[in-house]
Structure 1
Amino acid sequence: MLRYFTLLFTLLFITSCTGSSSQNIPINPKTDSVFTSKKYISEVNLTGFNAKGKTYYFIKVWGFLKYNADFESIEIDWDDYFISNINKIPNMDNNEYINFIDNTISIFPKLEIKANKNDIKDYSLIDNNWFNSSYFNKTISEKLNHIFENRNNKNSKFINNSRIGNLKFNNEKKYSENEFPQQSIRLLGLARYWNIINYFFVYKNDLEENWDKVLLEFIPKFANSSDVSEYHLVVQELSSKLYDCHSMVRSDILDEKVFGRFTPNFRIEYIDTTFIISKIRTEKYDDKQLKVGDIILKMNNEPLKERYDELNKVFKGANPPSERRIINPYLLSNTDNQMSLVILRDGVQKNIDIELQDYSNYREEESKTESTLKKSVLVNKMSEDIYYLDVNHLTKSNLNINIEEVKDVPNLILDLRSGIYDNIMINLANFLLPKESDFFNSTYSDVNCPGLLRSKKGYRLGQNNESHFKGNLYVLVDENTQSASEFFTMALQSSSNTKVVGSQTAGSDGNITMFHFPGKIETIFTGIGIYYPDMKPTQRVGIKIDHHIKKSVKGIQENKDEVLEKCIEIIGI
């Protein structure tokens, strides 16, 4: 798990870079518009008291009070209250449960009635119909509604917005003493995370599954995890329910005991129904048994498609191409350093035994090459009129020498099928764009109004620059184009001389928020929404593409870069 978590941090911090200081306007909940393009509706309506239902509604009440009740007037450890009561709830009879919920709400002082009450119609992330559940009586329903309507919208004890809108958590104990915490603390982690997503995840209304149904599904999974590996895997599965490529888990247990740190010296692509070797990673560990274009059928006697389907239960992407990209590295992970493969080469099956390395060994070798590239001229001349630049190794050290190479060329192909370092985005945009441009709007959760989204104009990139690039710009994209790369492509699209060529991007664009589960588990998720100026979405959709072209098994076997070749063809038309 560490392999992807570390990689993401080279790609994510897109909106933390600053455009023109006059345009980098911070959020202002007092003036930013309420955003209500979609409305969440819970699909859960439980009848008949049972243990899971009582736990479900307690988690909802606990989270509602955490972000809506007045904590300034009382002294209480809200985590401890949860931990002390969560295991008692299944054994309560109906009357005991109703009295317990009523007493929980009554811990907090009654709020004064506001002249202008909060209106649920403005709150696109939440549905308060659950206030009227059969698990509650009329008094409880009225108390919950009173708190919602009259919440004073002051700063929360537990959460606040950063300058750009993503979330920062306060007064949250990590519970990292034990990698397999007791049941009540595991359920506390579920309650914390579920309520954060419930009230503050900007893309909650774009989820594949109803978030209330997810809570019902995961209560027994968190409660009944039998050991440390199962618990950490359940956290990964829950995180995947966001269908967000940013939503990855950092867990030593998963990395070492569940999936394993040992991997082969190649990368694979999953195209149509075929798993094909697309790259040999390092010369040092290449034993020459395998080559690009080999098709992998089985690993350790298990068909690779069956292993993929198992992994797909706990790993989800924002869209099908990005989902495959996320799962591929784990397909051939192993807990020991030996692996048997069945491959197909030139129509003939072969059995091959290979030795694996800890994935950090490959990264160490790759970084040696990368360190040289990050100081080098990266421009390739494809023809008299066409030049190619891969931004993956473009840094502050070599940015200017590469700009000098392409400043007067008629056609430049910019490859964004990888990451881009955020510390070069401003200077590169200043060169490529003719003027400052508005290229995105953002949404964020107003933490002082839990469940309410706001929107604002994004900052600008580029500058009014007479010496800007005046040629035609072609940007290459695919499922590896994520976050910063997607964001930068959107900026380039604000210029009329830019065309985008390739296939669907990752569809995970926006700064990130980090959350800690009990048990030394970290996860991240998209913290702000990113939209085009016309409010067309990018999440799960990806960025707009002018010319669609995908990789193929045949292209990989013939060692072709089909996207690049198609782009060159388009330029020549």
Structure 2
Amino acid sequence: MLRTVLTCLALALGLAASTASAAEPTPKAFPSREERLESLARLWGQVRYRHPALAYKNLDWDAALVAAIPKVEAAKDRAAYAAAVQDMLDELRDPATRILRPDEQQEGSQKGPAVAVRELRTWESKDVLVLDLRAVKDAAAMGTLRARPEELRPDISKAKAIIVDLRARGLEPNVAWSMSTALGRLLPYLLSEELQVPGERRVYHSGFRPQSLGGTSGGYGTSFLTTAGEELSPKGDGKARPVIFLLDDKSYLDPRALAMKAQGLAQLVTEGRLDDGAVVDQTQVELGAGLTASVRLSELGIPMRADAVLPKRARSDKDETLQKALELAKKPAKKGKAARETELPPARWQADRKYEDMLYPNREHRLLALFRLWNVIHLFYPYKHLLSRDWDSALTTFLPKFEKAKDAAEYALAVAELSTLVQDGHTNLRGHPELEKRGITGVSAPFEAMELDGSAVVMSVRNAEAAPGLARGMVIETIDGKPLAERMKGLEPYVTASHPVHLRHRLLAKALAGPEGSQGTLGVRDAGGKIKQVRFTRSIQSLQKPKQGEPYRVLAGNIGYVDLTLLQTAEVAAMFEKLKGTKAIVFDMRGYPNGTAWSIAPYLNTRKARQAAVFERNVVSGDETVGRYKFIQELPKADVPLYRGRTVMLIDERAISQSEHSGLFFEAANGTTFIGSPSAGANGDITDLVLPGGISMIFTGHDVRHVDGRQLQRVGLRPQLYVRPTLAGIQSGRDEVLDKALEYLSGGSTAVAGDSIR
């Protein structure tokens, strides 16, 4: 409480004092409570994923947010709002990450009293050379420093001490940058020994590292990227002499000058306290009410300490700073030190806290859940540009839903509803009992169903013992005595998918799912119209039970058939040996494969293709808010005989993720034809985030495209020949999709790509 009062007072005084040296900005409307919270969320996320300290320090950034929320809400004016946010930032103990003063937010020239700019070279006390780099405003001075710095060598050799003026108050920002360029050309002539300048480092998130999955094939990770340092050699006479840099709170502090100070080759005199925010990269976050927060993006392993700190300049007719530098110039030059930089700790990744014991988190932790989920998707979700609704508006829409959740169930449902905005067939939730109670998560039924002709139809029974009496072709009308359509309708606000057909498929699957070991009762109608009740048991064991059937065989007309949901990698060579004499192969991908695409593709690569798919994942670092790491996946190679017959792949909405990726491999290898209906349209290695209440949310971490760059996500593999099974066909024992494929391979179909795709 005391710190808040003092911070508020200091900020208020700072705001008032700054008007003496800078024009007060135009008053901005004070943002509403909701707007302040939204700005806080964005700032918290920028720090969480871009500030280097969060990658190795043991800081409870969640707690800092939780403590800040009520203070930000209670703020009645600009100063109190600024103090509340600053209190949160103070947890970082980083002077470079803070609320900016009004004068620091001015655009254009750096306002405030400044001494007159001198000529590039002047002398003080006969033997002290003053190099005023502010003279770079003059073209001739800039030309000397940029193109002919060696012209300064005679004067530097005559000097017993050198003062370099880098004060930037009163200058245009471009002049300050020109001074930095000029300093780089000048420094070698000031050195008496080799100068080691360390590189900067930034946190680097390559995709979003999974929080609870225990690993993924995506290769997502968090690390530090450190730029290579440089070594500068002396170009002068090599004589040691005092070198003093003059700085103010507007100066850009060149890392090379800071390295000279750390190595004992220079001294620093500042007007106003200067921190290493003057030398590292930063970003700014607008908070409303004319407030802006600055956030550190990089760090140096060099301590920032001035030899003398003078008050900020209040008048321009007396240069106390120069006088202080002249005093220091009388002292002998310090000898270089062996220890030149501070050892920065290595990255130490820590998963976000799940707060499993908070099934119904308090209001602040519910907002933490909202802010964390929003920021992760905002920064890391690679398909954000494909979402139907603007993700930015999600904060505004869901803030009241998370705040007003009156119990654990409403909280979990608010999370589920927000997750549906991420229109991705991989998006799934788990870990909260209320989600399982309402069928949003749970164990799948021991059979597979699809929507055909408006009815939910049993397509296969995975474990007959767990669902006695259930058979392919039966129509499901009720679940536990209630209409199945009613159960699916109730799940609509909480389930998402990449496109409407796959959404219906997911709704059906979740309507039939439930807790491990639970039983359900189906009301089913057989082909003869007879209604009966079938009881079934849900269990992981049923799902792990191996599927029955032949993984491959030869059909009539010398056409091979491969069920990719059954085929194992160890069977691929034998499969091609058996089918090598066939004129064509049908690959049935109406389900999920067993990692066989990598072994199959070399047998099909008659095109001698090298590439299979285009990958991109979001990169979040100190360089860009969101960038992209792009790579092209190579087709696997193997010394195997080529299969030169035609190939087709059967697909529908049950083909998702690795199923679709198998299609990309086969398409690239030999132009495999797709027959059926569009796949799920959800591809890219998964990752997950975690939220209070033990909730884990899975989502896609990679943007994956056809090798020619065509979109796959939310579109799916598109069949060249569209065909959909019918209820009558299933009940009569026919496989209409396979039949159409065989007709096509026998030359009986004239359909071309795109003529019947829906």
TM over 0.5: yes
Structure with larger RCO (C-alpha < 8 A, sep 6+): 1
Q: How many pairs are equivalent? A: 487
The farther-off stretch of 340-349 and 243-252 is 340-349
Given that 2:524 and 2:533 are in contact with CA atoms closer than 8 Å, whether structure 1 keeps it comes out as no
Contact residue 261 and residue 359 of structure 1 kept, 8 A:
no
Q: 1:497 and 1:81 mapped to 2: Cα distance? A: 55
Do 1:276 and 1:296's aligned partners in 2 also have CA atoms closer than 8 Å? yes
Q: Distance in 2 between matches of 1:564 and 1:443?
A: 34
CA shift in 2, pair 1:507/1:47, >3 Å:
farther
1:65 is aligned, of 44, 47, 50, to: 47
Find the counterpart in structure 1 of residue 411 from structure 2.
231
Q: Residue in 2 aligned with 1:282?
A: 463
Q: Residue 540 of structure 1: CA displacement?
A: 0.7
Kept in 2, the 8 Å contact 1:337–1:355? The answer is no
Q: Which residue of 1 is the match for residue 573 of structure 2?
A: 400
Please point out which of 735, 739, 747 is paired with 1:561.
735
> Which of these residues, 387, 390, 395, is aligned with residue 207 of structure 1?
387
- 2:364 corresponds in structure 1 to 184
Q: Deviations over 1:215-253 (max 9, x none)?
A: 222223333333333333332332222111111112251
Identity, % of aligned positions:
24
The question of whether the paired residues in 2 share the 8 Å contact of 1:504 and 1:542 is answered with yes
Q: 1:388 aligns with which of 554, 561, 575?
A: 561
Cα gap change, 1:394 to 1:334, in 2 (>3 Å): closer
2:617 maps to which residue?
Answer: 444
Q: 2:354–2:695: 8 Å Cα contact kept in structure 1? A: no
Residue by residue over 1:501-538, the C-alpha shift from the partner in whole angstroms, topping out at 9 and shown as x without a partner, is: 12111111111212222222222211111112332111
Where do 1:419-434 residues align within 5 Å?
A: 419-422=592-595, 424-434=596-606
Instruction: Name the residue aligned to 1:313.
Output: 493
Corresponding residue to 1:295 among 457, 463, 475: 475
Q: In structure 2, what is the Cα distance between the partners aligned to 1:458 and 1:482?
A: 20
| Bigger CA radius of gyration | 2
Following superposition, the deviation at residue 465 of structure 1 comes to 5.0
Per-residue deviation, residues 430-450 of structure 1 (Å, max 9, x unmatched): 222233421221111122145
Alignment check: 8 A CA contact 1:98 1:136 kept = no
- Following superposition, the deviation at residue 539 of structure 1 comes to 0.8
Aligned residue among 69, 79, 92 for 2:75? 92
CA offsets per residue over residues 415-473 of structure 1, 9 Å max, x none? 12222223x33222122223342122111112214542325331211437572111111
Q: Distance in 1 between matches of 2:461 and 2:29?
A: 57
* 1:37 counterpart residue number: none
- Alignment partners' CA distance in 2, 1:413 and 1:214: 45
Cα root mean square deviation, aligned? 3.6
Give the counterpart letter for 1:397 in structure 2.
A
- Shifted more, 475-484 versus 261-270: the winner is 261-270
Q: Which amino acid aligns with 2:456?
A: F
Which residue is 1:524 aligned to? Answer: 698
State whether structure 2 residue 83 is matched by structure 1 residue 83: no
Asked whether 1:110 is paired with 2:96, we answer yes
Q: Which moved more, 1:277-286 or 1:438-447?
A: 277-286
Report the CA distance shift for 1:264/1:493 in structure 2 as closer, same or farther (over 3 A). closer
Q: Is the 8 A contact 1:443 1:456 kept in 2?
A: yes
Matched to 1:328, the amino acid is L
Which residue number in structure 2 is paired with residue 101 of structure 1? 85
Q: CA deviation digits over 1:292-314, x for unaligned, max 9?
A: 33333333453322321221110
- Contact 2:618–2:628 (Cα < 8 Å) also in 1: yes
Instruction: Report if the CA contact (8 A) 2:684-2:702 is conserved.
Output: yes
Contact 1:338 1:354 in 2 (8 A): no
**Distance of 1:334 and 1:231 partners within structure 2:** 20
Q: What is the identity, as a one-letter code, of the residue corresponding to 2:34? A: K
Q: Do 1:63 and 1:191's aligned partners in 2 also have CA atoms closer than 8 Å? A: yes
Counterparts of 2:41 and 2:611, CA distance in 1: 42
Aligned position for 2:326: none
Distance 2:384 2:656 in 1: 19
Q: 8 Å contact 1:433–1:462 — kept in the other structure?
A: no
Q: Quickly say closer, same or farther: Cα 1:447–1:416, change in 2 above 3 A.
A: same
CA deviations over 1:177-223 (Å, ceiling 9, x no partner): 44333332232222122111111211111112111222222223333
How far apart, CA to CA, are the structure 2 residues paired with 1:109 and 1:506? 49
Give 1:380 deviation, angstroms: 1.9
Partner of 1:55: 37
- 2 CA distance for matches of 1:452 and 1:293? 49
Query: Hey, what's the Cα distance between the residues in 2 that align with 1:402 and 1:386?
Result: 13
CA positional deviation for 1:560: 2.0
Contact 1:342 1:349 in 2 (8 A): no
Decide whether the 8 Å contact of 1:232 with 1:254 is kept in 2: yes
Structure 2, unmatched stretches of 5+, are: 1-27, 98-103, 105-172, 179-206, 208-283, 301-347, 748-758
- Which one of 524, 529, 536 corresponds to residue 356 of structure 1? 536
The code of the aligned residue for 2:459 comes to S
Relative to structure 2, which stretch is displaced further, 69-78 or 219-228?
69-78
Aligned to 1:136: 288
